[in-house]
Amino acid sequence: MKKETTSTTITPTKSNPVFIAENDYFGYIDPSMYKDGFCGNCSFKIFAIYYASAINNIHQFIQLNDHLIQNFPKSKYNIYMIDGSLDKNGDTIYKKVYTISSAKAKKYLKFKN
């Protein structure tokens, strides 16, 4: 397995996609692990560069911010893959690859309390 990099900019490709995370209530989740990603006409904050890391990071984010489960009980946490694909307007295509609801997170993840 390749070691994750802390490069300041990353351009995703099909062989090296990147992942971003968002909550459908409050928007993108920025772990500040990486600076920016660029693809087509879009820039974005990169959440992870490996699928397994993205899943692990979102679970850790939810566990460390368990108050969000209480404040937004019907929200969902989503991970999108960006592989450099563009639509006809040159905008990045985001492919949803993982979702966990607050209810499932509360049921399956261990919290500090």
For residue range 37-93, what is the model confidence (pLDDT) as tens digits? 777 777 788 888 899 999 999 999 999 888 998 899 999 999 999 999 999 988 899
Our CA dihedral for 80, 9, 50, 20, rounded to 10 degrees, sits at: -20
The pLDDT score that the predictor gives to residue 31 is 66
For the cut 60, the answer to whether the pLDDT of residue 33 exceeds it is no
As given in the structure block, the two tokens for residue 40 are: 């087509």
pLDDT category at 1 given cuts 50, 70, 90 is very low
